Amino acid sequence: MLTMKFGGTSVGDVPRLQEVVAIVKKFLDKQPVVVASAMGGLTNVLLDTAQKAVERKSAEVKTAVAEIYERHALIANAMILNSSRREVLIKKQQQSIDELTNLYHGVSLLRELSPRSLDAIASFGEIMSCRQIAAIFEENNITSFFVDARTIIRTDDNFGEAAVDFSYSNSQIHETLTSLVHNGFVPIVTGFIASTEDGITTTIGRSGSDYTGSIVGSAVGSEEIWIWTDVDGVMTADPRFVKGAKVLPEISYREAAEMSYFGAKVIHPKTMVPAIVKNIPIRIKNTFNPEHPGTLISAKPDKQGSSAKTVTSIDNLAIIAIEGNGMIGVPGVSARIFSALARAQVNVMMISQASSEHNVCIIVPRKDCTAGVKALRDEFSIDIAKKIIDDVSVREPVSIVAVVGEGMIGSKGIAGRTFDAVAKADVNIIAIAQGSSELNISFVVEQSEAMKAVQSVHDAFHL
Ligand code: ADP
Ligand code: ASP
Ligand code: MG
């Protein structure tokens, strides 16, 4: 079997969907399982509209819902010529639109928008998109079957970023999808969405369809997992912002995980986890240029010399700094910091501590900053009162820039070249961290200067 995940841009309009049909037809002998996202940009529209509903901007909600319907109806009218098939599809889409309208109405009446409601609302993007793809496949003589992932992937109830229960899901996925494939169907599985034990809709994190692709690919024992997107593969930097970014033919799972964690949006960081378990290669391919070989992500550490391979950056972060002479040599300060942040459910992206132990910097997403500062001020209130700790201060917005590559391991001078390049770009480094794996050097700069730093480091390593 071959699992193919198609992202939002690959399923967002008629020419792309025609290309998806051609790609799947070409690989029918490999028994494809398809995972797909919502039409490009639709998840944002669904979530933004929820915000309007809670603010009771009913006219705007109505217009948005009509546009969501229209985007799908346009595809159905253009691509499904068989009138009864088209009518069945449009009727089902209309039912989803009615359900969505009711949800928005509920949100607006209650003036309350919980993560649980947001997940229920977001799920319509993948459901309508995959139902539509299944009908398009049928229209093109590909025997297909729409699979709502909520029936096969179980998660906990951490809405918005739910954790997958693999012991339950793996067997459900395997059973359902292999039987469909063996009966000659191409399953079209909704990315991004899942459900709790009680059947409540969850999502597994923004851009999570990549992760669904590899959960599914691993559970069915795919020979490879192909992620179809709108670029030729994983590149040395984000091609939208960095001049001269090039496609990498091969990278390791570890490199892919590091660079996606630090902002390479091309693949969701968790995607590598299920693939590693079964050692299944992941390939990133371009729906707009299907003949390009793309990037192969596998276990093989492809050292490619002794240098860095990619430069990435991640925005919208804040630095929380805890400072004070009283911290020097006192055991347990770090433990208290991390326990306090964990209790407040703050996601720590990076830490940096000077060897003097006078200052500890914690880098967190801006959205978690207020909760993080409060948790730390509460935890250290006595120490602050006694002047053991000066204060908990914040600097934002900042970005982490990360230089990643297996070839950096054991190579001398990488840090020197990196920081030299940053200095040449006249960018000030606020904090630095290097993991002991040496696979990654990351540092923090003002957000407004991040791209300058990325470009300069990219140029310095001739990426
Ligand atoms: P999809 O809808 O297919 O999931 P995404 O927009 O999530 O697509 O991811 C693809 C985009 O990721 C590309 O268009 C590109 O702009 C961006 N990107 C960021 N960093 C990188 C990188 N290092 N290599 C390739 N693409 C990158
Ligand atoms: N549609 C979802 C999102 O926009 C999942 C995905 O595209 O991967 O986050
Ligand atoms: Mg994506």
pLDDT at 435: 67
What is the per-residue pLDDT across 19-34, written as a single tens digit (0 to 9) for each? 999 999 999 999 999 9
Measure CA 422 to chain center.
28
Spatial strand order of the sheet with 431-434 comes to 350-353, 359-365, 310-323, 391-404, 440-446, 431-434
Instruction: Name the closest ligand to CA 42.
Output: 2
Q: Enter the DSSP assignment of 329.
A: T
Which range among 38-47, 138-147, 327-336 shows the weakest confidence by mean pLDDT?
Answer: 327-336
4-10 average pLDDT score = 97
99-118 average pLDDT score = 97
Which range among 57-61, 335-339, 421-425 shows the weakest confidence by mean pLDDT?
Answer: 335-339
What is the per-residue pLDDT across 305-324, written as a single tens digit (0 to 9) for each? 668 899 999 999 999 999 88
Instruction: Note the helical H segments in 224-265.
Output: 253-261
What is the per-residue pLDDT across 168-215, written as a single tens digit (0 to 9) for each? 999 999 999 999 999 999 999 999 999 999 999 999 999 999 999 999
Helices H / strands E in the chain, number of each: 14, 16
Q: What are phi and psi of 249, to 5 degrees?
A: -65, -35
What is the per-residue pLDDT across 350-362, written as a single tens digit (0 to 9) for each? 888 766 667 889 9
Ligand 3 centre distance from Cα of residue 58 (Å): 30
pLDDT at 452: 96
What is the per-residue pLDDT across 400-439, written as a single tens digit (0 to 9) for each? 999 999 888 777 888 899 999 999 999 999 988 876 567 8
Tell me which residue has its CA closest to atom 5 in ligand 2: 207
Residue to mutate (ligand 2; options 43, 49, 211, 271; most atoms within 8 A of CB): 43
User: 365-389 b/e with 16+ CB inside 10 Å = b?
Assistant: beebbeebbebbeebbeebbeeebb
- Nearest atom within ligand 1 for CA of residue 284: 25
What is the DSSP pairing of strand 250-252 with strand 295-298?
A: parallel
* DSSP helix, strand, coil percent of the chain (3-state; round to 5): 50, 20, 30
Bridge partner residues of 187 (DSSP): 145
Distance CA 347, CA 366 (A): 10
- Nearest atom within ligand 2 for CA of residue 207: 8
What is the per-residue pLDDT across 96-107, written as a single tens digit (0 to 9) for each? 999 999 999 999
Instruction: Name the closest ligand to CA 6.
Output: 1
Q: Is 130 in the pocket of ligand 1 (CB under 6 A)?
A: no
Tell me which residue has its CA closest to atom 8 in ligand 2: 207
| Location of structure tokens 């996606």 | 260
Q: Is 238 in the pocket of ligand 1 (CB under 6 A)?
A: yes
Examine the pLDDT at 304 and tell me if it is beyond 70: no
Distance CA 376, CA 384 (A): 10
Distance CA 250, CA 245 (A): 15
335-345 average pLDDT score = 91
Q: Is 266 in the pocket of ligand 1 (CB under 6 A)?
A: yes
Distance CA 114, CA 135 (A): 33
Q: Is 7 in the pocket of ligand 1 (CB under 6 A)?
A: yes
Ligand 1 centre distance from Cα of residue 365 (Å): 20
271-299 average pLDDT score = 97
Distance CA 328, CA 448 (A): 33
Instruction: Name the closest ligand to CA 43.
Output: 2
pLDDT at 38: 98
pLDDT above 90 as % of the chain: 84
Three-state DSSP class for residue 79: helix
Name all domains of the chain by residue range, CATH numbers in brackets: 2-229 (3.40.1160.10), 310-460 (3.30.2130.10)
Q: What is the pTM of this model?
A: 0.93
Distance CA 188, CA 175 (A): 15
276-299 average pLDDT score = 97
pLDDT at 100: 98
Phi-psi group of 294: left, alpha or beta (phi > 0 → left; psi -120 to 50 → alpha; rest → beta):
left
Counting Cα atoms < 13 Å in the Cβ hemisphere of 348 gives 20
Q: Cα torsion for 43, 207, 18, 285, to the nearest 10°?
A: 160
Tell me which residue has its CA closest to atom 10 in ligand 1: 266
| Location of structure tokens 């509920």 | 106
Distance CA 127, CA 8 (A): 13
343-356 average pLDDT score = 83
Q: At what angle do helices 166-182 and 209-220 cross, to 10 degrees?
A: 70
Number of other residues whose CB lies within 10 A of the CB of residue 115: 15
Q: Which of 47, 39, 32, 46 is nearest to 16 (CA)?
A: 39
Examine the pLDDT at 12 and tell me if it is beyond 90: yes
273-301 average pLDDT score = 95
Examine the pLDDT at 303 and tell me if it is beyond 60: no
Q: How far is CA 225 from CA 1, 122, 285, 337, in A?
A: 9, 25, 10, 40
Distance CA 128, CA 281 (A): 29
Ligand 3 centre distance from Cα of residue 33 (Å): 18
CB 427 within 8 A of CB 454: no
Three-state DSSP class for residue 33: strand
Instruction: Note the helical H segments in 140-234.
Output: 166-182, 209-220
pLDDT at 23: 98
